[in-house]
Chains A and B, each alone.
Chain A
Amino acid sequence: MTTPKTTPTPAKIPVTVLTGYLGAGKTTLLNRILSEPHGKKYAVIVNEFGEIGIDNELIVNADEEVFEMNNGCICCTVRGDLVRIIDGLMRRKGRFDAIIVETTGLADPAPVAQTFFMDEAVGAKTKLDAVVTVADALWLKDRLKDAPEAKNQIAFADVILLNKTDLVSGEDLSELEARIRGINPYARLHRTERANVALDEVLGRNAFDLDRILDLEPQFLQKDDHDHDHDHHNDHSHHGHGAHDHHHHGGLKHYHDEDMQSVSIKTDKPLNPDKFFPWVQDLVATEGKDILRCKGILSFKDDPERFVFQGVHMILDGDHQRAWKDGEKRESRAVFIGRKLPIEKIRQGFESCIA
C-alpha cells in the first residue's frame, strides 16, 4: 500500500494485578485506590460485584475463566475472560488511565500474567505493570503451611503488602517477613494496616518492563538511601510503614522454604549468547512448570549492550536494554523463583554458558 503517515504509537494502558488470599485485604486496598484523590480513573475487573462501595461505571465483573492454549499445555494457561474484557474496555479508551485486575483469593497469578504475553491484541494495547499481593499478617504463617495458593501469590509478587500489622507483635512480623523473604527476596515489601500504603508503591511500578530491570539485588539487602526506583518523584519520602522493610535486615533470620525457593546466579565472565539462549529456552521448556518467575541482566562477549530478560513459567521475553556504562561492572546475573527448583542444574547450566 502507500507509505503510512506516521502516527505516534499510543501509550499502553498499565494493568495492575491484585492478588491475595481470602480476607487479606484486597478489597480494602482496591477501595483506597478508587477513593483517593489522585485524579486518575481506573477500570476495575473484579470477580465479585457488590464488595466495592465505590461508584465506578468501569467496574467489570469477570468469571475467572482459565484455559490452556496449545491443546493442554499447563504453562500456557490464559485468562480468556480477560482477553474479552480488555477487548471491550479498549473501545472506551480515553475513559480510564489504568486497569486493575482483582483475582479471587484462590487464584494463581500466572494465567493473568501470561495473558499479557500470549494474546497479541491484549499485549498491543495494555502492559502488565505489577503483581501486587496482599497478605494477612495474622494468618499468613498458617496459610503458607496449608494453602499452596497463598505461597504462589507471595512467590509471584512484585509488591507485597503485609497487611493487618496491628494485629500481631513486632517479633512475629519480623519472622513473617523472613518467611516471605525465604520465598521471594525480590519483591518490595510493605507493612500496612488497613492496606494503607502510598499508592505509588503499588501502581505504576513497571515491574514487567524490560527497561526497568535495573538490578537484581534482593530487596532486603538494600539500604534506604539506595532506592532503585526512578519512576516517580516523591518516592524517597518515608511514608507510614512503607519503608519499614529496610530497617530490619540486621536481625533478619533466614528461612528456607521447602517448596518454594529462589536461586540467584551470577558471573563476572562474559556469556556466549549462542550457548545461553538454547540453554535458557530448554530450561524453561523442561522446568517451566515449576519456574514461576525469572529475570536476568546479561553481559555477552563482545557485546557493548546489556541484555535483559524475564519470564513467567515457559514464556520468555528479552531484549538489549542499553549500552554498558563506563565503569559499570559487567556482571551477568539471573534469578529464578520457583517450586522445588533444581538449583544445581540451573547453576551448572548457567556456568556452562560462559564464553
Chain B
Amino acid sequence: MPNLLPLVPAEAGTQLLALDSRFRGNERRIHSSMSDITAPIPSLADRVRSVAAGAAVVGVHFFGSTPVFVLGEQELLFAAEAAEKRVAVHEGGILASVSDGERIVTGGDDGRLVATDAQGAHEVIATDTKRRWIDQVALAPDGALAWSSGKTAQVLTKGRTGKGELRSFEAPSTVAGLCFAPKGFRLAVAHYNGATLWFPNAAGAVPQMFEWKGSHLGVTLSPDGKFLVTSMQESALHGWRIADGQHMRMTGYSARVRSLSWTADGNFLATSGSEQLILWPFDGKDGPMRRQPQMLAPSQARVVAVACHPKQPVVAAGYSDGSVVLVRLDDGALIAARLADGQPVTALAWNFNGQVLAFGTEAGEAGVLTL
C-alpha cells in the first residue's frame, strides 16, 4: 500500500562521523532476526513486589533500600515493604526529580523546588515568583543543587554552615537539561544550538559553550569528565570531547532518547530510543568515534528507560510495552523483571548497592525487585 512519509530533507552540515550507516545497518540485521527473542527468557517477575501507585509514575529514587516513587501529580510514594506512605510535596504536576540518597529534590508546575528527606519531611527550597515551571533539577556530588525555569538556571551552593549561596545563569534559550560534572564544580546546561559548561563558583569565568545546531533536550557528562553528551530533538545524541571540542554524532535511533545511564565503570553510555538497548563505548580517549555501539536485548517494543547497575556490568532496560529486562553486558544474557502489559515504563532505578530494582509505568503500576 502506498503511503506518504514525512519528508525529511537531506541533512546539511559537516558529516563528522560515519556512525549512522553502521548503526542503521546493524539495526536492520537485528530486526530481521527478531523472532529469536520471542523465546522465553528466565524470569524473576514472580518475585516482584507490586505497588499500586494509582497515578503515573514519573521517577523513582531510593533512601537505603526503600524505593520512593515520584508520581505525576503532587505526591511521593514511600514504598517500604512494611508500610507505604504518601507525601504531598507539590500543588500540581511534578516535572523533574533527582536524588543523592539523602534527599529527593523535585521541581513542579507550581513553580516550587522542594527537598524531601528519608522521613518524608520536606521544605520548599525555592519558589518561582512568576509561578513558572521548574522543570529541570540536578544535584552535585557535594550536595549543591541546580534547577531551572525558562532560560534561567540557578545554583544553590552547599554552605559549610547554614545556607549556601545562590548563583544564576541565563541560557540563550529555555534550559532543557542540567547535569553537574562528577568532579569540580561545573554545571552542564542544555539549550538550543548546544550546551554550556558553567562554573558557578568562578566569578568572571566565561561559560564555555559547545555548539551544534538544533534543540538539545538532555545532557550528561561522562564519569571521567572528558565527554559532554546531549540528547537531541532529532532522535540522536550529540557529543563533544571537552578538551578539544571534537564533535561526535550518535544517530540511528527510532525515537528521541529520553533516558541515559553510565555503566559503573564509566566505559559505556546506555541509552533508550531504539528497539534494543544501545551502549556507546566511552572507554578510550576518542569515545565512540569511529566505533560501533553495542546493541543488546532487541525487542519489538522500544527501550524507553535505562538504568545501569551501580556495581556490576548489568543494565536494566524498560520498554514501551511495559516489560523490564536485566541485561548482562558480557554476553547479552537476559532476565525478565517485569512482563509486558502494554503500559510504557516511565521510571526505573537501582538502589545504591544494586540489590533492589524499582520500576513504574505510565498507568500507575509500580514494582520492586529485591535480588
Chain A residues in contact with chain B, CB under 8 A?
1-7, 49, 57, 60-61, 63, 65, 67-73, 75-76, 78, 80-81, 83-85, 88-89, 91-93, 95, 117-121, 273-274, 277, 280-281, 284-285, 288, 300, 307, 309, 314-320
Contacts and interface: CB of A to CB of B under 8 A. Distances in A.
Nearest to A121: B256
A314 B9 contact: yes
B4 A65 contact: no
16 contacts: A1-B319, A2-B340, A7-B343, A60-B109, A63-B174, A71-B12, A71-B213, A76-B8, A76-B9, A80-B215, A84-B217, A88-B133, A91-B73, A277-B2, A281-B4, A318-B3
Contacts of B2: 273-274, 277, 300, 307
A314 B132 contact: no
A272 to B, nearest CB: 10
Contacts of B58: 91
Given A63-B151, A78-B215, A316-B7, A92 B256 contact: no
A4 B321 contact: yes
A49 B321 CA distance: 39
A2 B7 contact: no
Contacts of B40: 2
Nearest to A89: B93
Given A71-B11, A75-B9, A95-B73, 14 more contacts: A1-B321, A4-B340, A6-B342, A49-B130, A60-B109, A68-B214, A83-B233, A88-B93, A88-B95, A88-B109, A91-B95, A309-B4, A316-B4, A317-B4
B148 to A, nearest CB: 11
Contacts of B8: 69-70, 76
Given A61-B132, A78-B233, A67 B6 contact: no
B173 interface: yes
B72 interface: yes
Interface string B285-329: 000000000000001110000000000000000010111010000
Contacts of B120: none
Contacts of A320: 1
B92 interface: yes
Contacts of B12: 70-73
| Majority secondary structure of chain B interface residues (helix, strand, loop or mixed) | loop
Interface in B224-257: 233-235, 255-256
Contact of B174 (A1, A84, A316): A84
A1 B325 CA distance: 9
Contact of B233 (A49, A57, A80, A85): A80
B150 interface: yes
B255 A121 contact: yes
Contacts of A68: 213-214
Contacts of A284: 7
A314 B7 contact: yes
B3 A319 contact: yes
Nearest to A61: B132
| Majority secondary structure of chain A interface residues (helix, strand, loop or mixed) | mixed
A118 B6 contact: yes
B46 interface: no
Contacts of B150: 63
Contacts of B135: 84, 88
A316 B176 CA distance: 29
A91 B130 contact: no
B16 to A, nearest CB: 12
A2 to B, nearest CB: 5
Contacts of A57: 92
Contacts of B204: none
Contact of B214 (A4, A6, A63, A69): A69
Given A3-B340, A88-B133, A317 B323 contact: no
Interface in B131-170: 132-133, 135, 150-151
Interface string B92-122: 1111000000000000010000000000000
Contacts of B84: none
B336 interface: yes
B365 to A, nearest CB: 11
Contacts of B213: 68, 71-72
Contact of A119 (B4, B56, B233): B233
Contacts of A280: 4
B341 A4 contact: yes
Contacts of A120: 235, 255-256
B339 interface: yes
B192 interface: yes
Contacts of B284: none
Nearest to A50: B130
The 8 closest A-B pairs by CB, nearest first: A7-B342, A91-B72, A318-B4, A71-B13, A1-B323, A4-B340, A4-B342, A80-B215
Contacts of B73: 91-92, 95
A316 B217 contact: no
A69 B7 CA distance: 12
B336 to A, nearest CB: 7
B6 A316 contact: yes
A307 to B, nearest CB: 8
Contacts of B234: 69-70
Nearest to A83: B233
Contact of A92 (B93, B132, B321, B341): B93
A65 B174 contact: yes
Contacts of B339: 1-2
Contacts of B5: 316
Interface in B37-71: 37-38, 40, 56, 58
Contacts of A80: 173-174, 176, 192, 215, 233
B335 to A, nearest CB: 12
A5 B233 contact: no
Contact of B9 (A67, A73, A83, A93): A73
Contacts of B132: 61
Interface string B1-31: 1111111110111000000000000000000
A61 B133 CA distance: 9
B94 A91 contact: yes
B341 A5 contact: yes
A300 B234 CA distance: 34
A60 B133 contact: yes
Contacts of A95: 73
B178 to A, nearest CB: 13
A284 B56 CA distance: 40
A317 B7 contact: no
From A69, A75, A320, residue with most partner B Cβ within 10 Å? A69
